[in-house]
Amino acid sequence: MFVNVLIGGLVLGCTYGMLALGYSLIYQASGYMNFTQPDLLMVGAFMGLTFFGTWGWPFAISLALAMIMMFLLGMAMERSFIRTLVKKGAKNIYIVLATIALSTILQNAAMLIWDSRQHSFPSIFTKIKPFKIGGASVRPEGILAIVVAISAMVLLHLFLNKTKFGTAMRASAQNKTAANVMGINVWQTISITYGIAAALACLGGVIVAPNLGVSMNLGTQLGMKSFASAVIGGYGNMYGAIVGALLIGLIETFSAAYIGSLYKDFIVFALLILAMIFKPTGIFNAKVYDT
């Protein structure tokens, strides 16, 4: 039983981690919190389901097209809503409220375009049998979720710290005026960042859909604990996002298995409150930007 619970916790943690990475990426680039990530994941999963499950396109093509479309949607949302509010001098709280409103719009749009039912996502690896690890049976989609989440964390860290565009993103978040003086196109940088975060959410949605299914509530199901993961790990830190997500996933599954499923959410959010009280900068001591 222990191995089953451990692997289940890792898969769940990596699922949370994909969203937590998006939260952290946008904060790294703009200094703002964005609560549309869970529903961007949901819309991306529906797009993947349409291309791969309904239309029968190859998985790689379906995933790539869904990510491109979500990248464009993320940029469009930033340019039409977030940028307008920022240029009008809106405080951070109003931008947060705007992203919450956009989440509701995305949920209702998904219900109108698709429906409110739970949909099964076809298996990605039809010819590969589940792996046996320590007596536990693990679907290859679960292994894929772990590999993709860890790879995304490393690649995003290298992107932010080893490329000129990544440096521009961080500079824009820390001081927009100084970044403009240095010749950085701040708005273009932020817009592309929102696109990348939306594409990342889509990747997470399509990867986890075979394990969780697809419905308009998929984002709601994952969103709060993903945000808690980002906060506990250190909001804005890529490694913190994954470490916090793995911690949340393991605590949730072990609590459900050995204490009771009724208490798992209480334990997870009690941990979040304790983290905010005693370690508000998170495990990785994340910096807080003054926006």
For residue 289, what pLDDT is reported?
Answer: 53
* Residue 150 located in a structural domain: yes
Q: How confident is the model at residue 49 (pLDDT cuts 50, 70, 90)?
A: very high
Q: Which residue has the higher pLDDT, 12 or 132?
A: 12
Q: Hunting for tokens 């970044």 — which residue is that? A: 179
* Residue 210 located in a structural domain: yes
Per the structure, the complete domain to which residue 138 belongs is given by 2-278
Six token digits for residue 30: 């703009």
Helix axes 264-278, 218-233, angle to 10 degrees: 30
Q: Hunting for tokens 């940029």 — which residue is that? A: 75
Q: Hunting for tokens 């050995």 — which residue is that? A: 258
Phi, psi of 137 (to 5 degrees): -100, 120
Q: What is the mean pLDDT of residues 54-70?
A: 93
**Residue 165 burial class via C-beta count within 10 angstroms: exposed 0-12, middle 13-18, buried 19 and up:** middle
**Cα 80 off chain centre by:** 22
For residue 65, what pLDDT is reported?
Answer: 96
Using CA atoms, how far residue 216 sits from 101, 113, 146, 159, in Å, is 15, 10, 24, 32
Beta-bridge mates of residue 138: 131
Q: Report d(CA 259, CA 4) in Å as an integer.
A: 16
Q: What is the CATH number of the domain that holds 6?
A: 1.10.3470
Phi, psi of 281 (to 5 degrees): -85, 0
Six token digits for residue 140: 């290859």
For residue 73, what pLDDT is reported?
Answer: 94
* Residue 291 located in a structural domain: no
For residue 286, what pLDDT is reported?
Answer: 66
pLDDT tens by residue, 92-120: 888 889 899 999 999 999 999 998 889 99
Q: How many domains does the chain have?
A: 1
* Residue 136 located in a structural domain: yes
pLDDT tens by residue, 185-203: 888 888 888 999 899 899 9
pLDDT tens by residue, 7-20: 888 888 888 888 88
* Residue 284 located in a structural domain: no
For residue 135, what pLDDT is reported?
Answer: 67
Q: What is the mean pLDDT of residues 60-67?
A: 94
* Residue 8 located in a structural domain: yes
Assess whether pLDDT exceeds 80 at residue 229: yes
Helix axes 2-30, 238-258, angle to 10 degrees: 150
* Residue 289 located in a structural domain: no
* Residue 184 located in a structural domain: yes
